[in-house]
Every structure is written in structure tokens, then in C-alpha cells.
Structure 1
Amino acid sequence: MTMNVPLLPAYDRTALRPGIVHIGLGNFHRAHMAVYLDDLFALGQDHDWAILGAGVRAGDARMREALRGQDCLSTIIELDPAGKSARRIGAMVDFLPVEAGNASLIAAMAQPAIRIVSLTVTEGGYFINPATGAFDPDAPEIRADAATPDQPDTAFGAILAALRARRAAGLAPFAVMSCDNLPGNGHVTQAAVVGLARLSDPGFADWVQDNVAFPNGMVDRITPATGPRERALAASFGLADDPVPVTCEPFRQWVLEDHFPAGRPALEKVGVTFTPHVHAYEMMKIRILNGGHAIIAYPGGLMDIEYVHEAMAHPLITALLDKVEREEVIPSVPPVPDTDISAYYDLIRSRFSNPEVADTERRLCLDGSNRQPKFIVPSVRDALAAGRSARGLALVSAMWCRYCAGTTDSGTVIAPNDPNWDALQSLSLAARPNPQIWLDQRHIYGDLADHPGFAGDFAHWLTSLWDKGTAATLRAYLST
């Protein structure tokens, strides 16, 4: 059945003027920031804050071709269990050429009208050294940009080239706003931009440090990858010709520091929270939601469960989630302004259970080597420091290790699901007789590898997962 074709934006898109360059036009950006701006434009507000899309990877050219082929409109399908709805948002007015050296991107960011440059380049795109948690000046891409600062290939190199051009022209710098799911994402972005500048021009690096704003922000909306199911949904709304529709849950949240010296759109009018306490919202979300994703991901993956809502219908997995969250995660989450943390967890649990989203366990299992140190290990540290048990979190880590062996409990082969998959698989298999081998990944666990309680719990659970399987191991944990 074909549903009604979504209406085009009610505002006059020909009157929009770009004020933002956004790098990284993936599903999350189009279902989040672009939707907030679309709502604002529909109020008749701030039509000089439209988005110029951009990308710095070769694959971004495909997105550019797809979006420019439909006048830069995006189809957003909200997957509410009470009824799906679709809209076409028009907050983006063009998509810049994707090219080596990023000349078009640099020229656009150097224009006076651009007052914000925003990014969604994924959690792994900030050149963080996993061993130190700090910016990695020795990353090959960073070294290459430092050697050719006028023809950079990274987003951060392009930002620096544009800032140099603006300073030379006497223009104020734009604010640089990360929209990625990182603790202290503004600080992380500043470290990357300033750190790259310092490799070729320390004086300019000091100027960037002193003059460019990097507001922190917390973003949230579950947005599955686009595949055949999502394209079929778009077709049901009469949009079969859209190759890149976006599906998402109804819920969305954006919390920002109000640190935009060159100005900003009035996003508070469409539900964005401006506060100096972003870190509190951020810790709550990263620990409870992102940590919760990891808690349900690996048992589901090991038990051949395909979808997140199916995992949430499994009594052992939901019991695991409840026990670990309430006993080991939530007690370490500080108070958040105007927020009941227990009610927030109930909301997260409900969001995970939404069958319409059809988010996959495999997506939640992706990139554990980047996500575990951010979403699980900090909760372990806080629980142990407070004298509480971290047995459930040790089990989560053991399930990640078991998953990386590359087979489920049934023997089904797990396709590579981490940028470091080959190394992780080798370590996982070596850890079967000697669990300490896995914990000796110091860039992930640090001195937790030497903590007798955590190491002992991890070894106990990993042995149980291999000998008894995931379901029996969960029952054993839940019985304690």
C-alpha cells in the first residue's frame, strides 16, 4: 500500500542562505541537526542559517550525487509504533564538490556568511590515540596534512586552511561544532584542530586556541543504517526514487553549550537545550544509553538474535540490562538538571524496545574497540572506585571478547565487525585458555588489567561463555 506522499517544506527554500557548512552527511545528521533547522525555518526564523553539505572521503561523493539529484531534500521517516510518518526536509541548499585537497570546501568555509562549521565524522574520526585518549599527531593522515597544509585531505586540515584564509581577510572565525557522540566533543575537536596546526605553524595553533569556539554538545537519536527495508518504506510513501531515505525513532535530543561568538540560529525555539552543564547530560546518555547498547548487543549477537527489539523481548537480556544498569551503571551517574535519571532509564528501555526501528544487534556490536573504552570501561572504573561490584560489566566485556572470536554459540560465522577485527579475533582465540591476554590490551583497559577483582570476574565469565554458552552464563549471573 502506498501512503500519502510527504509534503515539501512549507517555507520558501529559494529564500534560504547558507550560514553553516556541515561535514559528513550521514543518516544521523540528516535525522537530527537538519531536522531541527527544518523546524526552525518552518517557523519563519533564521533563513540565513541553511546548510551547505560537504564531505572529505571518496565515499561522500555518492551521497552528494544522490542528494543533489533530489534538490538536496532528505526523506525522514519517523518509526513511531503508533504509526509511521514521513517528511521531506529542505534545510540543506547544496552539497559541495568532494575532491582531493578540499579546495571547494575551504573556499566555502572562508566566506563571511559561514559562521558555524559542524561535523559528524563518527566517533573514530578524531584521530584519538587509544593508548592515551589524546589526539594522535602521528596518525598518517595528520602527518600528511601537516606536510601539505594548503591541500589538506582531512576535515580538520580543511578547517585550518579556511581559518587561515579568514584571518588573512580580516574575518572573524567561525565556531566549530562537533555533532558526534563523544565525551567532551568540543574539547576533542579543539584538540584535533589545534594539534594539527601545531605540527606546521605553532603560532597559528596558539591563535586558533585563543580565538576559535568549540562548543560541547550532546546529541541523541537512534538512526539505523539505510538498506532494502528502509528503501521499501520510502517507496510505501511514494518515494521509491529516493536512494538515501533515513529512518529514525521519534525521540530526539540536542544539548549545547551557548558558545557561538559569530552568532547562531535560535534553536532553543525548536527544542534544543542550551546549558553550561552539557557534561552532565552527556555522561547520563553515554553511560546509560550507549553503555546499554553494549550490554544488550553482545548477548544478542552470540545468541543469533538479529534485531534490537527482539533482544529486548528476550527475558535473559532484559534482566541483564536492568541488573547491570541499576546496580553498576546508574549509581555512578551524577545528577542532571531537571532530569529524573530513573525515568530517563525507563525511557531508554522503551526506545530500545521499539519494533518499528528494526535496529540490528550487529550495528550495536560494531567497533567495540572504539566504543568499549568510552561506554563501558569508565563505568567499571567508577564502580570499583566506589567499592561496588562490576561483575556485570565484566560479563559484558567478556561477551565482547567471546563475540570477537568470530562465531556465535550455534557456530554461525560472524562477519568482521570492527576496524581491528583480525587482531581482535586472534586475541580472543588466544584468550580462551588465558583470559588475561584480552585484558592486556592496555589501550582499552589500562590498569584494570591488574585489578584482581575485575580480572577474576572477567576470566570467570569468559570461561563460562565458552564452556556453557551465553544463555547459561546469563542465568548464572542473574542468580547472584
Structure 2
Amino acid sequence: MQLNKQNLTAFAGKLPCPDYDRGHLQTGIVHIGVGGFHRSHQAYYVHQLLKDGTPEWGITGVGLREGDRAMAEVLQAQDGLYTLVNQRPNGTNSSEIIGSIRDYLLAPDNPDAVIQRMAHPKTKIVSLTITEGGYNLNAATEEFDLTNPDVQYEIAHPQEPRTVFGYLAAALRKRKAGGHPAFTVLSCDNIQHNGNVARRMLLAFARHQDPELAGWIEKEVTFPNSMVDRITPVTTPEVSEYLFREFELEDGWPVVCEPFIQWVVEDNFVNGRPPLETVGVQFVPDVSPYEKMKIRLLNAGHSVLGIPGALHGHPTIDACMRDKVFAGFMRAFMDQEVTPILDPVAGIDLEAYKDQLEARFANPNIRDGVGRICSESSAKLPKFLQPTLRENLRRGGEIHRATFILAAWCYYSDQRHNEKNEPLEILDERAAQLHRAAAGTTTDPISFLRQESIFGDLSEQPRFVEAYTEAVRLVYDRGDVRSLMADW
């Protein structure tokens, strides 16, 4: 039976379903970038909240790209409903139908509908999961990239938005013109100080498109920082098959996740917020220590496993963790390179947190593919790994494991095959650029580092260049990352 509102009552006896009246849901949150993570995390929290009778906080999902059409078709056919499958380490699953997404709008089909929904006075929050690359940030300068052709078009044509900044500006312009309060822009992406980054990028865009609006945004809009955490691997066909076998349920795009979930949010909302503290969200004055800890340990730790794991031929993160060499290398990275530069985090036992991360990565039921972890590394590594490297360079700290990962990433981008001669599927907007830069390594050892938009001035840091040159030489000479990790 197809999952939709008409058939929802038929599933109620088989697995937990929304017990609130979805017909009375109103849009209080517009979320841009509905993917697996949003549906396992923010939408799940709001679903829990709606059970307590707060219908004004329903979610309208938005896709800005043509690539979001598949998600639009599924959620529209299923009336926003989807199944969340929680995969426990002991091999058991628990499943629940989530109902917090009341509708979904695809911007390429109707841009004005998206602007109108964001501009509606009942919309209090516009939240984002647009990935690291969605912020249009030049990694070298940390400034807004005005050379983006879509941005240039939007600046000249304010009524024809293409990027998230164009849509936010268009909606806020309508709010301002109508005399309505601003909404809060809530970034839920894995970027340290994500709210600050969203604010800086939107203001940079608005100052070029509409300086008067930029001044209003600066005064009226808030951008809370937040830290989000829940491992959410890519949904495989086996998940849909499991739901059909267990519940006779046909879900076009279910979501899988781990049991662990965390959301820490700066309590800085301009126009009201949902009482999410009642369902476990932490509202704090300063998110910085939490997000720094999570990004530099969990997110960087994933890449520390994923890039060499892909080269060696490990298919998943839990497979990497079953390899004592990989697990030991990652723990040494966390202990020796990250921990010494972390700030104290209230209520967190750092050693216990790292132990918990190891257990989460090792969850055999999650089977998080290394391909997902390696995807868009050109956006991830400058945010997750390089800040630790740079800080250790400034402090005279340990840099060798982080440096090795960058050397392995160069080899990964150059060779495009793993050690078993199996092709690597490299999913990165800059894949061609990365390959060209890496291909020059045999004649110029730091050719890969000369991508200033990714590495900034690292190619001018003598201690790092010396360590990188040696690491890349060893990787290219041996072609066996596991043996090098064992020696490191």
C-alpha cells in the first residue's frame, strides 16, 4: 500500500504514525534543502513537538534546484509523509512515519510560490540544509563569491532568484514592504559558526543587489548558530524492501538513521520559535564549543576514515572501523591533533564523547558508504579538517595525520581507482579541477595545493609543505595507504 494521507490509518496498527491532525498544520518553518539529514533530524524533532499540539510549526519543504525534482515528486505523492528507520547497533530496527512536512515546493516550477510562502507573516523561520558548498563562500578569502554566474544574474534581476540568497532577499523584501516582521534564518549545516556565515553571505549579496534591504536585514533578521548531529547514510533499495516486507508499506524515499541525535541552538530568534526544548533540543547562549568539537571530531573523523578507506577498498565506515589500523589512525588523529586545541565544553566528557563516536562509526547496521563521506570533499575538508591543521601550524602542534589525509585526497583525485583497481565514483562539483591539479603531482609535488580557493595559503607554509611533500611522495611510491597509516 502506498504511503499517503489517505492510507495512513491502515498503517497505524503496524508502526507509529502521526497522531495529530495534519489537516490543521500551518507553515511556521520553511526549510530549504530537504534531504535525508533534514528528515532524520529537524523534521523528526518537529514531528515530536507536533504531538504536543503546536500546529503552527508545520514545515514547508523547498527545493531550489532541478536536481530536487525527485524529492519533490516523492513527497508530493506521499503528502509529505515518509518513514524514518532507526538502525540500532544490535541489528534491530524501529520505524516511524513522520508527518511534520505539510507540503513541498519546487522552485524551478514556481519561484513565486516559494517567495510567497517565505514572505507569509505566519512563516517565522527559514531553515537551511544546503551543504557546505551552498553558501557560495570562497574558501581562500572567506568572502562571498560574486563571480558566481547565478549570483550575477540575481543582482541584475532581483525578481528572478536562482540561489538561496536570491530567494531569501526576495522574501525579506516582501516582508519589509508589507510591514511584516522579519523571519529568522536558521542554518543547520555542518559549518562552524553556520549562522554567522549565513548572515555574512546574505548581507554581502544584499549589499550588491539592494543596499537599502541589506540595512534592514542587518537590523531585523537574526541568524542563530546551531550544531546538528545524526548520522544519516544514503537510503538503499534494501530499506524500501524491508518496509514492504515488514509492513506492506511502499515508501518512495524512506530515511535511515542511527539512534543518536543532538541539536544545540543559539537562542536568538527574532520572531518566535517552537518550544523544541520540550523534545530534547538544547538552547544555549553560545554554540561555538559544541560545534567546534563536533565538526573537528565527527565530521573530520569521517573524512579521516573515508578518503583512505575509499582508496583501500573498504566500502563503508563501519568496515573501516573493523580495521584496527584505520580505527587506530583515526583515534590518534582525534587524541593528538584535535583534542589539544578544543575549548572546554560544558557538560561534555571529551574522552567519553570520542569513545561514543567510535561506537557510532562502528555501528554495523548503518553501513554508511565511504562514497557519501568522500562526496564534495572540496567543500568539506576546508571546513572540517583544515582549521585543525592551521591551528596546529600556528601553535606548533602535531600535523602529520591531517597532512596525510590531504595527500591521500590528492592521490584519490588523481588515480580515480582504489587499490583493487576498482573505479572510484568521485562526487564533487570540482571533480575535474581536482583531477587536473592532482595530475601534476609527479612533476610538482605541491601541484594539488596550488588550488588557492580550496587551500588558501597552505602552499606557503614551510612546515606543512615539507610534511605534505613527504606524505604525497610516500603515497605515490607505495600506493598502499593502509601500510602508511600503520607506520604513521
User: Is the pair's TM-score, using the shorter chain for normalization, greater than 0.5?
Assistant: yes
- State the distance in 1 between where 2:46 and 2:52 align: 10
Which of the numbers 72, 75, 89 marks the counterpart of 1:67? 75
Consecutive unaligned residues of structure 1, counting only runs of 5 or more, are none
Amino acid at match of 2:146: P
Corresponding residue of 1:76: 84
Asked if residue 418 in structure 1 is aligned to residue 428 in structure 2, the reply is yes
Deviation at 1:240, TM superposition (A): 4.5
Asked if residue 135 in structure 1 is aligned to residue 144 in structure 2, the reply is yes
Deviation at 1:193, TM superposition (A): 1.9
Could you say what the CA RMSD is over the residues aligned between the two structures, in angstroms? Answer: 1.8
Contact 1:184 1:279 in 2 (8 A): yes
Deviation at 1:31, TM superposition (A): 0.6
- State the distance in 2 between where 1:136 and 1:101 align: 26
Corresponding residue of 2:123: 114
Contact 1:51 1:93 in 2 (8 A): yes
Deviation at 1:223, TM superposition (A): 0.7
Moved more, 244-253 or 198-207: 198-207
Post-superposition CA distance 1:355-379 (Å, at most 9, x none): 1111011111112211111111111
Which of the numbers 291, 303, 311 marks the counterpart of 1:282? 291
Inter-CA distance 239–379: structure 2 relative to 1 (3 Å threshold): farther
- State the distance in 1 between where 2:301 and 2:334 align: 7
Corresponding residue of 1:347: 356
Asked if residue 6 in structure 1 is aligned to residue 15 in structure 2, the reply is yes
Contact 1:185 1:216 in 2 (8 A): yes
Amino acid at match of 1:385: R
Contact 2:137 2:144 in 1 (8 A): yes
Inter-CA distance 8–145: structure 2 relative to 1 (3 Å threshold): same
Aligned 1:117-196 pairs, distance under 5 A: 117-196=126-205
- State the distance in 1 between where 2:449 and 2:116 align: 47
Post-superposition CA distance 1:263-286 (Å, at most 9, x none): 010000111111122111000001
- State the distance in 2 between where 1:413 and 1:64 align: 31
Which of the numbers 398, 403, 423 marks the counterpart of 1:389? 398
Which of the numbers 329, 342, 353 marks the counterpart of 2:338? 329
- State the distance in 2 between where 1:61 and 1:391 align: 43
Moved more, 157-166 or 6-15: 6-15
Which of the numbers 85, 98, 101 marks the counterpart of 1:92? 101
Post-superposition CA distance 1:295-352 (Å, at most 9, x none): 1112211111101100100111011111111011111111111111111111111110
- State the distance in 1 between where 2:476 and 2:71 align: 42
Give 3-state SS (helix, strand or coil) of 1:93's partner: strand
Which of the numbers 221, 227, 233 marks the counterpart of 1:224? 233
- State the distance in 2 between where 1:94 and 1:186 align: 25
- State the distance in 2 between where 1:15 and 1:445 align: 50
Amino acid at match of 2:266: E
Corresponding residue of 1:256: 265
Equivalent pairs: percent with the same residue?
38
Asked if residue 472 in structure 1 is aligned to residue 483 in structure 2, the reply is yes
Corresponding residue of 2:61: 53
Deviation at 1:388, TM superposition (A): 1.8
Deviation at 1:192, TM superposition (A): 2.4
Consecutive unaligned residues of structure 2, counting only runs of 5 or more, are 1-10
Moved more, 334-343 or 436-445: 436-445
- State the distance in 2 between where 1:341 and 1:239 align: 43
Deviation at 1:69, TM superposition (A): 1.3
User: TM-score of the superposition, structure 2-length normalised?
Assistant: 0.94
Contact 2:136 2:144 in 1 (8 A): yes
Amino acid at match of 1:423: Q
- State the distance in 1 between where 2:200 and 2:278 align: 31
Post-superposition CA distance 1:95-137 (Å, at most 9, x none): 1243356100111112111111111111111111122122112
Contact 2:144 2:205 in 1 (8 A): no
Deviation at 1:418, TM superposition (A): 1.8
Contact 2:329 2:486 in 1 (8 A): no
Which of the numbers 434, 440, 444 marks the counterpart of 2:444? 434
Aligned 1:306-321 pairs, distance under 5 A: 306-321=315-330
- State the distance in 1 between where 2:462 and 2:347 align: 39
- State the distance in 1 between where 2:165 and 2:462 align: 41
Amino acid at match of 2:472: L
- State the distance in 1 between where 2:24 and 2:307 align: 48
Moved more, 149-158 or 306-315: 149-158
Post-superposition CA distance 1:143-200 (Å, at most 9, x none): 1111111121222211211111111111111111111111111111112222221112
Q: After the TM superposition, which parts of structure 1 deviate over 6 Å for at least 4 consecutive aligned residues?
A: none
Corresponding residue of 1:401: 410
Contact 1:60 1:98 in 2 (8 A): no
Contact 2:240 2:251 in 1 (8 A): yes
Corresponding residue of 1:449: 459
Deviation at 1:54, TM superposition (A): 1.4
Contact 2:131 2:190 in 1 (8 A): yes
Contact 1:101 1:153 in 2 (8 A): no
Inter-CA distance 278–259: structure 2 relative to 1 (3 Å threshold): same
Post-superposition CA distance 1:77-103 (Å, at most 9, x none): 001123210000111111124335610
Give 3-state SS (helix, strand or coil) of 2:173's partner: helix
Amino acid at match of 1:11: Y
